[in-house]
């Protein structure tokens, strides 16, 4: 494998994010079709899957027609190695997406033209802004009757707090959707449902007065001329530096289901999206062109293949070159590990790889050594930053429904929470186990997987908890006094950190006000 700077700069690692049902999984599959990675895409309609989507591999995902775990897919496109991370759209699995965003260099955000900017979209963009991640926006479903394009752009700028620059512009929409005008290349792409649009289908137009525009756009030509004049005046030209600094987002219009507008965006993406960049560790900044290997675990998935009880840790390579069969240093455990069968992925398909470069995502077979956030190096003691846990929103006690399967329940609960499906808290009094999630659906997924993968059954008893706060203090006596005073509401997270479970917002405010020497943290990142 080429280890030169050109090989590293020839990589693009990105995630596709969206609100549920905006068309993210469909867009993913169209990318894979263009990259030659698959021949037939699954059709996702009305939350039912006709053919199982390539990027969805859990049984419960197939049944419900939603993505609940991040899939990793790699393919070649225009001499580039493209690593695509397809994230869960469902809000109940937002934490998995937050973690995935720490492993990518850029993002494509899908917005439904009918529903516009939805709450989950806002939350995801918040994480992108926190990390200054460059974003390209794809406004989807132009073949449906949606909002006015200018209103959509205003809403995106206002709610997502980012400047936009349209790269294409729709010619009508819904039943009368004719296609898009490419503002960058000065040409038309005409819409033909189901037809795969390629570069050869671009109809160059010397100016908007070209009679070809009237011929192709018909009665919509005058509106397009007016719109484009307004777009140029309001939004100005595209500035690549603004995009790379995450201050502005290029916008494309199209229909993922009809494979329209996808290639135009993909071609622009590979031209402007950043290659693997530097990464911040607690000790120093790590550059991608450094020779020694470094990487971090951002996701763990148990039983990716139901026929084998395997557990895969997903690693983002940050620097150097990962080599199959070589010993690497696990910095948290302080021990050396060897990986004889590292994998690359196309959803359920795994292929053993010999080497991997910065930007690549590989899967390592894990026997329980890894937790999310762990760092691997060639010997240097490093700990990469930036895989936070947020307070869950729903808390339930785990009650074993089959005492004969206690070991299976403990193992399954530990492994699934290691994956980040949910957070596990243990009460020191009687070792009571509490699971915290972002949404109700996660409990259904956990229950389903415990039964089907571990043979363990359990019940979840609701708890009246408002928020989990990690607590620390420079005054050990004060911390000890507080934990004794609030012992029924003190638990430990999986890493042994003290956590206070607040009953309600008023009580939490009182605790913060009355205990100035104790710090209450709303994410684990600040510990």
Say which CATH number the domain at 145 has.
Answer: 3.40.50.300
Q: Are 454 and 408 in contact (CB under 8 A)?
A: yes
Q: Are 168 and 185 in contact (CB under 8 A)?
A: no
Q: Name the DSSP letter for residue 524.
A: G
Work out the pLDDT band at 87, boundaries 50, 70, 90: confident
Q: Indicate whether 447 and 521 sit together in one domain.
A: yes
Q: Indicate whether 183 and 228 sit together in one domain.
A: yes
Q: Indicate whether 292 and 185 sit together in one domain.
A: no
Task: Give the pLDDT score at 37.
Answer: 64
Please write the tens of the pLDDT for every residue from 458-476: 999 999 999 999 999 999 9
Give the residue from 272, 295, 322 where a domain finishes: 272
Q: Is residue 36 part of a domain?
A: yes
Q: Indicate whether 337 and 264 sit together in one domain.
A: no
What CA–CA distance (Å, rounded) separates 121 from 18? 6
Q: Are 312 and 363 in contact (CB under 8 A)?
A: yes
Give the residue from 272, 304, 339 where a domain finishes: 272
Work out the pLDDT band at 346, boundaries 50, 70, 90: low
**Higher pLDDT residue, 30 or 197?**
30
Please write the tens of the pLDDT for every residue from 43-64: 333 333 333 454 444 554 455 4
Q: Indicate whether 108 and 238 sit together in one domain.
A: yes
Q: Is residue 479 part of a domain?
A: yes
What is the sign, positive or negative, of the torsion defined by CA atoms of 63, 64, 68, 73? positive
Q: Is residue 20 part of a domain?
A: yes
Q: Is residue 99 part of a domain?
A: no
Give the residue from 272, 297, 318 where a domain finishes: 272
Residues in CB range of 223: below 8 A, 6 or more apart = 172
The parent domain of residue 474 ranges over 394-526
Q: Indicate whether 27 and 123 sit together in one domain.
A: yes
- Mean pLDDT confidence for 505-520: 94
Q: Are 426 and 491 in contact (CB under 8 A)?
A: yes
Q: Indicate whether 285 and 401 sit together in one domain.
A: no
Res 310 pLDDT > 70: no
What CA–CA distance (Å, rounded) separates 254 from 116? 14
- Mean pLDDT confidence for 37-43: 51
Q: Is residue 283 part of a domain?
A: yes
Q: Indicate whether 423 and 314 sit together in one domain.
A: no
Res 193 pLDDT > 80: no
Task: Give the pLDDT score at 93.
Answer: 58
Please write the tens of the pLDDT for every residue from 163-189: 999 999 999 999 999 999 998 888 888
Q: Is residue 474 part of a domain?
A: yes
Using a 10 angstrom Cβ sphere, with 0-12 exposed, 13-18 middle and 19 or more buried, the burial of residue 519 is middle
Residues in CB range of 453: below 8 A, 6 or more apart = 302, 303, 306, 412
Task: Give the pLDDT score at 65.
Answer: 45
Q: Indicate whether 265 and 287 sit together in one domain.
A: no
| CB-CB neighbours of 130 under 10 Å | 13
Task: Give the pLDDT score at 107.
Answer: 96
- Mean pLDDT confidence for 321-342: 93
Work out the pLDDT band at 194, boundaries 50, 70, 90: low
**Higher pLDDT residue, 52 or 519?**
519
Map residue 12 onto helix, strand or coil.
strand
Q: Indicate whether 310 and 436 sit together in one domain.
A: no
What CA–CA distance (Å, rounded) separates 250 from 166? 6
* Number of structural domains in the chain: 3
Q: Indicate whether 254 and 400 sit together in one domain.
A: no
């Amino acid at each position: 494998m080429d280890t030169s700077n050109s090989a590293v700069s020839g990589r693009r690692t990105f995630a596709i994010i969206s609100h549920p049902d905006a068309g993210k999984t469909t867009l993913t599959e169209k990318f894979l079709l263009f990259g030659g990675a698959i021949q037939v895409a699954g059709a996702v309609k009305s939350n039912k899957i006709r053919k199982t989507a390539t990027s969805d591999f859990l049984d419960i995902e197939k049944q419900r027609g939603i993505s609940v775990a991040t899939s990793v897919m790699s393919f070649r496109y225009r001499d580039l190695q493209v690593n695509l991370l397809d994230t869960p759209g469902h809000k109940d699995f937002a934490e998995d997406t937050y973690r995935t965003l720490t492993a990518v260099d850029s993002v494509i955000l899908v917005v439904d033209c009918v529903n516009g900017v939805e709450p989950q979209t806002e939350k995801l963009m918040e994480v992108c802004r926190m990390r200054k991640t460059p974003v390209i926006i794809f406004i989807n479903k132009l073949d449906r009757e949606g909002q006015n394009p200018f209103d959509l752009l205003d809403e995106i700028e206002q709610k997502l707090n980012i400047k936009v620059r349209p790269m294409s512009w729709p010619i009508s929409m819904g039943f009368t959707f004719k296609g898009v005008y490419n503002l960058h290349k000065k040409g038309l792409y005409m819409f033909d449902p189901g037809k795969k649009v390629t570069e050869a289908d671009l109809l160059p137009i010397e100016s908007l007065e070209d009679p070809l525009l009237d011929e192709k756009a018909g009665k919509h030509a005058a509106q397009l001329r007016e719109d484009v004049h307004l777009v140029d005046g309001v939004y100005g030209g595209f500035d690549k530096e603004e995009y790379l600094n995450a201050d502005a987002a290029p916008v494309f219009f199209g229909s993922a289901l009809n494979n329209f507008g996808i290639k135009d965006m993909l071609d622009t993406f590979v031209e402007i999206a950043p290659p693997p960049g530097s990464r911040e560790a607690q000790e120093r900044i790590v550059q991608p062109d450094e020779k020694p290997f470094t990487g971090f675990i951002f996701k763990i998935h148990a039983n990716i293949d139901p026929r084998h009880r395997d557990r895969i840790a997903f690693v983002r390579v940050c620097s150097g070159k990962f080599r199959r069969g070589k010993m690497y240093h696990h910095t948290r455990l302080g021990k050396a590990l060897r990986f004889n069968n590292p994998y690359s992925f196309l959803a359920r398909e795994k292929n053993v790889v010999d080497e991997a470069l910065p930007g690549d995502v590989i899967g390592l077979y894990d026997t329980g050594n890894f937790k999310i956030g762990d760092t691997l190096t060639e010997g240097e003691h490093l700990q990469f930053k930036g895989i936070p846990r947020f307070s869950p929103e729903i808390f339930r006690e785990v009650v074993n429904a089959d005492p004969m399967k206690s070991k299976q329940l403990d193992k399954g609960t530990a492994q699934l929470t290691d994956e980040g499906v949910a957070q596990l808290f243990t009460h020191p009094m009687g070792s009571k186990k509490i699971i915290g999630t972002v949404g109700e659906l996660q409990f259904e997924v956990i229950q389903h997987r415990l039964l089907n993968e571990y043979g363990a059954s359990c019940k979840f008893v609701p708890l009246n908890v408002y928020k989990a706060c990690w607590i620390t203090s420079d005054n050990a006596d004060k911390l000890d006094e507080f934990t004794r005073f609030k012992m029924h509401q003190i638990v430990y997270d999986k890493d042994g950190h003290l956590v206070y479970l607040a009953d309600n917002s008023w009580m939490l405010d009182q605790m913060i006000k009355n205990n100035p020497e104790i710090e209450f943290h709303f994410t684990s990142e600040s510990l």
